[in-house]
Amino acid sequence: MKSVRIRNIRKKLTIEAFILVAWTAAISTPAVGRAQSPDPTNIMPEPRAGDTNRPPRIQAQIETSYTAAGKTEFLGTKNGNSDAFNTSVNLSAPIPLSEKWIIPLGLRSQNLFLNTVPGVPVPDKINTLSFNTGLGHRLNDSWMITGIFSPTLYKFSDVGGNDIGFSGGINVLWRYSPSLTLTAGLIVSPDSDLKVLPMVGADWRINDEWDLRLMFPQPRLIYQPDEHWSFHFGANIVGTTFRSSDTLGTSIGRPQYNDALGTYRDIRVGGGLGYQFSKAFRLEAEAGYSVSRQIDYTRIDETVDFDPAPYVRLGMNLGF
């Protein structure tokens, strides 16, 4: 058991280090044709003159992905296989108050469907809904500071008072040059396995064709030969904090997993391509390998790990 616990701690530290390097707040509106990453925090473009006379600009990001089945590891024992099918929808609509102030608004639905495994606390589905808001202030042409507050519904059935959680954070953006943006911030998520997480990031537009975007949850290197096509290689992180059903533990003979708080995370590495049909419509496809997939029941101090496996992902961005 001691070796299993040490291995789990190492995995958690590896995940934290990865996220720390990956995160950025590239929150200004990308150029037409530039690849865009679905990002639930990417909801606050830079205020521009005259924006107060425009209706809120709505962006929708729809994604579906499949991670192939891998063996589960629980309490140091290998068990049956479990795959994961994911669908998510992100809506964002920043409301400009002036040229200096803006209110970010966002809604995110995360839906995961997994194969259950006898004797292992793997839920058959995870459904969460998050609302994001806050306040952003542009100090000058180079600096912007943003505060974000996000209540989350941890499940959709048999909802009780402990099924709503809260997280938030602060982010500072510095445009060092027209081609380089640097960010730093802090995210606080009391119910997550990573409760307080400092973050840094960068977006380096190397030239007209290459862009190095260290953006959570999709850090990537992008090659864009023209205004329509783009090709990328990088990572893709799917995750959410949730509560299990009231019967999950009973069904496997471990009642402590009934209504248990958990964090699901799938870190994947791969490459893909995208096509920008217009300023408001983009499609993207990607494939690669899930290198670290885990359910962490933090308050029970146990995890379920899944063996590495291939994955595929499809995404669509819409603007209104």
pLDDT digits (tens, 9 = 90+) for 282-314: 999 999 999 999 999 989 999 999 999 999 999
pLDDT of residue 193: 83
Assign 200 a pLDDT band (cuts: 50, 70, 90).
confident
Least confident of 19-23, 85-89, 130-134, 226-230: 19-23
pLDDT of residue 290: 97
- Residue 24 region by backbone torsions, left for phi larger than 0, else alpha for psi between -120 and 50, else beta: beta
Question: Residue 52 pLDDT > 90, yes or no?
Answer: no
Chain centroid to CA 45: 18
- Residue 10 region by backbone torsions, left for phi larger than 0, else alpha for psi between -120 and 50, else beta: alpha
Q: What's the whole-number average pLDDT of the chain?
A: 84
Question: Residue 163 pLDDT > 50, yes or no?
Answer: yes
Q: What are phi and psi of 95, to 5 degrees?
A: -110, 105
- Give me 206's structure tokens: 């190397």
pLDDT of residue 320: 83
Assign 192 a pLDDT band (cuts: 50, 70, 90).
confident
One-letter amino acid for residue 203 of the chain: D
pLDDT of residue 182: 94
305 neighbors 293 (Cβ within 8 angstroms) = yes
Question: Residue 167 pLDDT > 50, yes or no?
Answer: yes
Assign 162 a pLDDT band (cuts: 50, 70, 90).
confident
pLDDT of residue 215: 79
Instruction: Check the CA dihedral 186-290-288-117 and report its sign.
Output: negative
- The model's pTM is 0.81
Section 33-44 average pLDDT: 34
Quick one: which of 222, 234, 320, 206 has its CA closest to 274?
222
pLDDT of residue 30: 31
Domains of the chain: 2-319 (2.40.160)
pLDDT of residue 11: 44
DSSP codes of every residue in 165-212: EEEEEEEEEEEEETTEEEEEEEEE-TTSSS-EEEEEEEEE--SSSEEE
What percent of the chain stands above pLDDT 90? 71
Question: Residue 51 pLDDT > 50, yes or no?
Answer: no
Section 228-243 average pLDDT: 94
Q: What DSSP state is assigned to residue 308? A: -
DSSP codes of every residue in 3-64: HHHHHHHHHHHHHHHHHHHH-----SPPPTT------TT---PPP-TTGGGSPPPPEEEEEE
Tokens 């990572």 belong to 235
Assign 97 a pLDDT band (cuts: 50, 70, 90).
very high
Quick one: which of 204, 221, 205, 215 has its CA closest to 237?
215
